[in-house]
């Protein structure tokens, strides 16, 4: 990281091992992948990417050494072959999945990949279990971690019957994101029977039952807490950060567009206890919602991988979860780090679009919006030392997105 990004000086490290960003969900606008390129690249680490897209704004980053596209038509064997050939060319790299499909792929093909790449040695099947909303729910039940009441319908009739047990609004989620159509929503808040059935039909998979109904816990985006951490080969938490969402995209149900670091010992303790119990190793990104009705923090989602919000969580010495994993897997010392408190991180322009919705619904005022931006330490797209991805993002919006919105396409 440069002094321009958070005022810290990059540590001197052995940066000879490349980083390979790996994703199998379409994400040309994946700001988390750009964050990985910058976090590693600012330390002089060569960073490459393998993904579904042939190009994206992040490809213009000064810290991107190469971009390899794998077609949607590629079989697992073809993807594996492409990864191994790239590994031969760039040398043994640290493999960093950035989506659930990529995490499960690495979990499935560990034996074939581990000779060519560095990545945490997970217990077999754990990444798949945590990526599954049902698997996550069952683990929480087993280990005494609070989580919203969840039901798993097998038909439309089940959906209607089970929703009546919970009352409206009801949260509808995909159990396994990779098993449903890319255009389908991943989560929806159904406020009536018609909305519920529409969400169910969009999310259900021809491969089998893929929808979970979850108890709705009332609260604003600020009641959603996050944990980002890195667990070593002994499942000990070597670095862990907590924070809150302030705004999301899509509003109320989506990813963080504005977040703030705040210390929350309860969230940290619950996460470290669960990860130790299941033997987790590597980077984890977890979301909780605070329930004021009983003063509890309920686990909502587990991402057994690096999350798109990871650059919110940066210690005073510049350490983040990516750098912690890199140092550990390359047998270098992870420095002790003071957990940031009050650091803010913004995703532009998504936050602006979400803010319009929040304002329209009366959940934010213009002065309140302006105050919320005070203290933003870093943005997802703009960086003084790496401006081209930001410019490409806005150029793409002007050339592609805006005309289609104006024409109603």
User: Mean per-residue pLDDT for 126-141?
Assistant: 93
For residue 225, list its beta bridge partners. 244, 288
DSSP secondary structure letter of residue 177: G
Q: Does residue 384 carry a pLDDT above 60?
A: yes
Share of the chain above pLDDT 70, in %: 94
Helix/strand/coil for 19: strand
77 pLDDT band, cuts 50/70/90, is very high
Residue 400: predicted pLDDT: 55
Q: Does residue 404 carry a pLDDT above 90?
A: no
What is 101-170 written as a DSSP string?
Answer: HHHHHHHHTHHHHTTTEE---PPTTHHHHHHSHHHHHHHHHHHT-----EE--SSHHHHHHHHHHH-SSE
Residue that wins the pLDDT comparison between 363 and 275: 275
Same topology, domains 3-131+219-352 and 149-215? Answer is no
376 pLDDT band, cuts 50/70/90, is very high
In this structure, are strands 344-346 and 376-379 parallel, antiparallel, or unpaired? parallel
Q: What is the pLDDT of residues 50-67, one digit of tens each?
A: 998 888 899 999 999 999
5 pLDDT band, cuts 50/70/90, is very low
Residue 12: predicted pLDDT: 81
Q: What is the CATH number of domain 149-215?
A: 3.30.1490.20
* d(C-alpha 80, C-alpha 336), whole Å: 36
Helix/strand/coil for 96: strand
Sign of the alpha-carbon torsion through 204, 207, 209, 212: negative
Q: Which of 3.40.640.10, 3.40.50.150, 3.30.428.10, 3.30.470.20 would CATH assign to domain 3-131+219-352?
A: 3.30.470.20
Of the given ranges (34-43, 93-102, 168-177, 263-272), which has the lowest mean pLDDT?
Answer: 168-177
| Domain residue limits, the chain | 3-131+219-352, 149-215
Q: What is the pLDDT of residues 161-214, one digit of tens each?
A: 887 787 889 999 999 887 777 778 889 999 998 999 999 999 988 777 899 999
Mean pLDDT of all residues belonging to the chain: 90
3 pLDDT band, cuts 50/70/90, is very low
In this structure, are strands 19-22 and 237-249 parallel, antiparallel, or unpaired? unpaired
């Amino acid at each position: 990281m440069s002094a321009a990004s958070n005022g810290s000086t990059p540590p001197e490290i052995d940066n000879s091992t490349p980083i390979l960003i790996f994703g199998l969900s379409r994400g040309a606008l994946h700001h988390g992948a750009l964050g990985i390129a910058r976090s590693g690249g600012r330390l002089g680490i060569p960073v490459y990417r393998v993904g579904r897209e042939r190009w994206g704004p992040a490809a213009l980053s000064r810290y991107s050494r190469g971009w390899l596209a794998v077609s949607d038509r590629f079989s697992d064997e073809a993807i594996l072959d492409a990864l191994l050939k790239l590994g031969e060319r760039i040398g043994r790299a640290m493999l960093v999945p950035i989506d659930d499909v990529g995490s499960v792929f690495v979990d499935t093909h560990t034996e074939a990949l581990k000779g060519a790449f560095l990545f945490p040695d997970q217990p077999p099947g754990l990444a798949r279990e945590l990526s599954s909303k049902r698997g996550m729910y069952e683990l929480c039940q087993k280990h005494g971690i609070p989580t919203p009441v969840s039901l798993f319908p097998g038909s439309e009739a089940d959906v209607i019957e089970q929703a009546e047990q919970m009352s409206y609004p009801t949260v509808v989620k995909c159990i396994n994101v990779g098993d449903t159509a890319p255009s389908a929503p991943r989560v929806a808040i159904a406020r009536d029977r018609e909305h519920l059935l529409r969400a169910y039909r969009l999310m259900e998979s021809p491969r089998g039952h893929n929808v979970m109904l979850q108890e709705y816990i009332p609260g604003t985006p600020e009641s959603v807490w996050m944990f980002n951490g890195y667990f070593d080969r002994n499942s000990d938490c070597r670095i862990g950060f907590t924070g809150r969402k302030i705004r999301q995209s899509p509003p109320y149900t989506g990813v963080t567009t504005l977040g703030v670091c705040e210390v929350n010992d309860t969230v940290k303790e619950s996460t470290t206890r669960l990860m130790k119990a299941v033997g987790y190793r590597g980077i984890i990104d977890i979301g909780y919602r605070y329930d004021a009705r009983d003063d509890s923090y309920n686990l909502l989602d587990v991402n057994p991988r690096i999350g798109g919000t990871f650059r919110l969580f940066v210690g005073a010495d510049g350490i983040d979860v990516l750098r912690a994993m890199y140092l550990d897997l390359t047998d270098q010392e992870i420095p002790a780090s003071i957990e940031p408190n009050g650091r803010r991180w913004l995703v532009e322009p998504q936050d602006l679009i979400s803010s319009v919705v929040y304002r329209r619904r009366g959940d934010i005022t213009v002065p309140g919006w302006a105050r919320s931006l005070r203290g933003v330490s870093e943005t997802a797209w703009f960086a003084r030392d790496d401006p081209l991805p930001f410019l490409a993002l806005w150029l793409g919006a002007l050339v592609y997105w805006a005309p289609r919105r104006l024409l109603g396409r």
